[in-house]
Structure 1
Amino acid sequence: MRLHVTLRATLAAAAAALLVTLLPAQPAWAHAKLVKSDPAGGATVSAPLAAVTFTFTEMVKQQFSTVVVTGADGVSYSDGAPKSVDKTLTQPVKPLPGGAIKVVWRTVSVDGHPIEGQFTFTNAAPAPTSAAPSSAPPATSAAAAEPSSTALTAAADPILDEGGDGGVLWLVLGGVAVVLVLAGGAFWWRRRTT
């Protein structure tokens, strides 16, 4: 009889621990993913672009987003900071030169997980007819066009102060719940045997 009660209590505690550990952890690991970009990677654009847009599976943090749009001349054509509205991140751009355009992006999911990527597209749009800039590119070095790893890391560092990945929180809460269930089962078992 005593073995039957102990076995039943142990199985109930194990089932509760398994549920607590597995069920809440699933949403914590669901990070934002890029669904599409406009223009898409590998596309050829025939009309002038005012912005490059990204659509994600969930919202992203605007303050930690970086998008660098670079022409074949090595100059950055990003115009200001990217803006985030709902699940869309938009990076305004200056008039782009013809040829290959490289887009390097980095952002952060609402759960604190950094995501990044890059792609290229071809700009075949006619050059703008209004007040074309001088033939010499602005005094911007090619190194400034690429986001440095230090800058990208610095953009992600504040996330650690906000609590980091939500998965750690769920693991800690799950561990506490398992301990409470086991302690309750032991207390119940002790009271039943006395």
Structure 2
Amino acid sequence: MRLHVTLRAPLAATAAALLVMLLPAQPAWAHAKLVKSDPAGGATVSAPLTAVTFTFNEMVKQQFSTVVVTGADGASYSDGTPKSVDKTLTQPVKPLPGGAIKVVWRTVSVDGHPIEGQFTFTNAAPAPTSAAPSSPPPATSTAPAAPSSTALTAAADPTVDDGDDRTVLWLALGGIAVVLALAGGTLWWRRRTP
């Protein structure tokens, strides 16, 4: 009976140390993911759009988000910068031309991990009556592209890599805590034994 009582304390201490060490590491394992976009990739839109909306599974950093919306004419139809509210990122757009519309997006998770993607949809809404929102790029340039990943990653947070380093750090600290708890429990048990 005494043996069971003396083993419970070190085992409980070890379990508590593991729980404390591993719980804070969980946010580093999960990065934001796109849940849906409106309009969706491949969709055909029949009503005029005023914005393209992205919904993520967690919040993203507005200051590091970019969305480029281009028509078949190569002109940009993005209107200002994207706005982030809760888990939603919204990019206002100028009146879109008919045909294929390309959307290239990039943002950063709250943990510093950059995520990006692109899709196209078809605009079948009535043609806008106003003038074109912007002039097409010169013949020597290519269609607008999202910012480079190195520039956005450096701007995001130079101390946060992509979470893998933090995961290894937490696992190493957890292993050290377990070893220390077991060593302390063993030492305590030996001193208590007559």
Displacement of 1:82 in angstroms is: 1.2
Mapped contact 2:69–2:93 kept (Cα < 8 A): yes
Q: Structure 1: any 5+ residue segments left out of the alignment?
A: none
SS of 2:30's partner is coil
Q: Using the alignment, how far apart are the partners of 1:81 and 1:135 within structure 2? A: 16
1:82 corresponding residue in structure 2: 82
1:104 corresponding residue in structure 2: 104
Aligned-pair identity in percent equals 79
Amino acid at match of 1:133: A
Q: Using the alignment, how far apart are the partners of 1:69 and 1:12 within structure 2? A: 56
Amino acid at match of 1:67: V
2:158 aligned residue (158, 161, 165): 161
Are 2:149 and 1:152 aligned? yes
Once the two structures are superposed, residues 60-98 of structure 1 have per-residue CA deviations (whole angstroms, 9 ceiling, x without a partner) of 011121211121222322222211111110112222221
Once the two structures are superposed, residues 24-56 of structure 1 have per-residue CA deviations (whole angstroms, 9 ceiling, x without a partner) of 444432222211111111111112222111011
SS of 1:156's partner is helix
Amino acid at match of 2:144: A
TM-score, normalised to structure 1, is 0.77
Amino acid at match of 2:185: G
SS of 2:181's partner is helix
2:50 corresponding residue in structure 1: 50
Once superposed, what is the RMSD of the aligned Cα atoms? 3.4
* Bigger Cα displacement from structure 2, 162-171 vs 61-70: 162-171
* Bigger Cα displacement from structure 2, 9-18 vs 41-50: 9-18
Displacement of 1:118 in angstroms is: 1.3
1:143 corresponding residue in structure 2: 142
Q: Using the alignment, how far apart are the partners of 1:188 and 1:72 within structure 2? A: 74
SS of 1:68's partner is strand
SS of 2:100's partner is strand
TM-score, normalised to structure 2, is 0.77
Q: 1:135 to 1:146 in 2, by over 3 A?
A: closer
1:118 corresponding residue in structure 2: 118
Q: Using the alignment, how far apart are the partners of 1:134 and 1:103 within structure 2? A: 16
